[in-house]
Amino acid sequence: MWVLSSADASYRIDPRSLRILERQPQALEVAAAIGGDGQLYLGGAQGLWRLPTRCRCRPRKPG
């Protein structure tokens, strides 16, 4: 499985142990091509998914 960051680096990780198996700067071109938006993406045989990296939570109103 690949973790792609359109802002920084790309890594191939073992999905079971979450250990980094290799780093590939060339994969950044793929991440940049999908938006260059600074988000994280997971890639695998089934496709590419954007990971939520920002909380869009609103504070509760008192009462």
pLDDT tens digits, one per residue of 13-35: 776 777 777 776 655 455 444 55
- How confident is the model at residue 47, as a pLDDT? 63
Q: Record the pTM.
A: 0.34
Helix (H) or strand (E) holding 12: strand 10-13
What is the band of 49 on the pLDDT scale with cuts at 50, 70, 90? low
Q: Is 16:53 a contact under the CB 8 Å cutoff?
A: no
Instruction: Taking residues 36-55, report their average pLDDT.
Output: 61
Instruction: Taking residues 35-40, report their average pLDDT.
Output: 58
Neighbours of 14 (CB within 10 A): 10
- How confident is the model at residue 55, as a pLDDT? 44
Domain spans of the chain, in order of start: 2-51
